[in-house]
Structure 1
Amino acid sequence: MPLTGHCLCKAVTYSADVDQPALVAYDHCDDCQRQSGSTYSLVAVVPKAKLTLNGPVKKWTGYGSSGKAVHRLFCSECGSPIAHDPDAAPEIIALKAGTLDTEIKKTLQPDTEIWTVSKLPFCQEHLAKPFEHMPQ
C-alpha cells in the first residue's frame, strides 16, 4: 500500500510507491525548526523515484552544511511544507510526516534523530540512533 498525503488545503497531494518509509526521523536542524515553526520536523524518507507529487508546489532553495542545495517544497496555496530534497543525497526525499494521511501517520515509528547538534536543550526524547548531523 503506498504512502499518501496532502497539504492543509488539499491542493497538493502525493503518493510514494513504498510500503514503509526507509527512515522515520526527528530532524533537529535549524532550517527544519524554522520551516516547521517547531522544535524539530518529523520526516519520512522515501526514494525520490517512488514519489509522485501533484498540485501547485513552490520551491525554496537553501544550502546545507555540505554546501549543496536543499530544496524545500511547499504548497503555493496554503504554505504547508511538503518535503525537503537534498542535493547531497539525490536518491531520497524527506516527506514532512505530518502531511501523511492520518491513518498512515498514526502507524509511524520514529527510529532516528538527525542533526542532534542543533537539538534544543529542552527536548528530552532520545532514540536509539542519534546522529549529530545526517547519517554518515
Structure 2
Amino acid sequence: MVLSGHCLCKSVTYKADVDKPLLVGYDHCDDCQRQSGSTYSLVVVVPKDKVTIEGPLKKWGAPGSSGKTVWRLFCSECGSPIAHDPDAAPEIIALKGGTLDTELKKKLTPDTEIWTVSKLPFCQEHLAHPFEHMPQ
C-alpha cells in the first residue's frame, strides 16, 4: 500500500510505502491543537524509513514531554502541516491525516487517541484505545 498526499498548494508531496500504518488516531496534545487550529490532529504513524517527502519544507522544533525535540514539518509556501517527527522515537514519523489524498483518507479507521490528558472536555468522541500520554 502506498500512502500519498500533499499540502494545500501541492508544492509538498509525500509517499509512504507501507503494508499498513503503525497507528491511526487522534493526537490531543496542546501543540497539535495549536498547529491544526482544531481540537486534535489526525495522525497516521508510519516507519520514517518508508517515507519520501519532496518540496519546499520548513521545520520547527520544540521539546516534547521526553525533553527531546519534536520537529514539525510544514510547507514553506502555504504553511500546511505535513508531519511531526519526534527525536524520542527516531524510527517513526506522524503524517497529518488530512493531507493524505482524498480517497485514501476516506478509508482511514482511527482507533487510538493519544495525549488524552490534554483532550478538550467538549470533545465527545471516544476511540477504542485511549492513552493519557504516548503508548509505550
| 1:19 matched residue in structure 2 | 19
Task: Provide, for residues 56-112 of structure 1, a one-character-per-residue CA deviation record: whole Å limited to 9, x for no partner.
Answer: 000000111110100000000000000000011110000000000000000000010
For the residue of structure 1 that corresponds to 2:134, the secondary structure is coil
For the residue of structure 1 that corresponds to 2:98, the secondary structure is helix
- State the alpha-carbon separation in 2 of the partners of residues 81 and 44 from structure 1: 13
Aligned pairs, number:
136
Task: Provide, for residues 13-66 of structure 1, a one-character-per-residue CA deviation record: whole Å limited to 9, x for no partner.
Answer: 000011321110100000000000000000000000000000000000011111
> Is 1:89 equivalent to 2:89 in the alignment?
yes
- State the alpha-carbon separation in 1 of the partners of residues 14 and 129 from structure 2: 28
For the residue of structure 2 that corresponds to 1:32, the secondary structure is helix
Give the letter aligned to residue 83 of structure 1: A
TM-score, with normalisation over the residues of structure 2? 0.98
1:1-136 equivalences under 5 Å are: 1-136=1-136
CA contact (8 A) 1:24 1:108 kept: yes
TM-score, with normalisation over the residues of structure 1? 0.98
For the residue of structure 1 that corresponds to 2:133, the secondary structure is coil
% identical equivalent positions: 83
For the residue of structure 2 that corresponds to 1:16, the secondary structure is strand
CA contact (8 A) 1:3 1:19 kept: no
Q: For the aligned residues, what is the CA RMSD?
A: 0.6
User: Structure 1: which 4+ aligned runs deviate by more than 6 Å?
Assistant: none
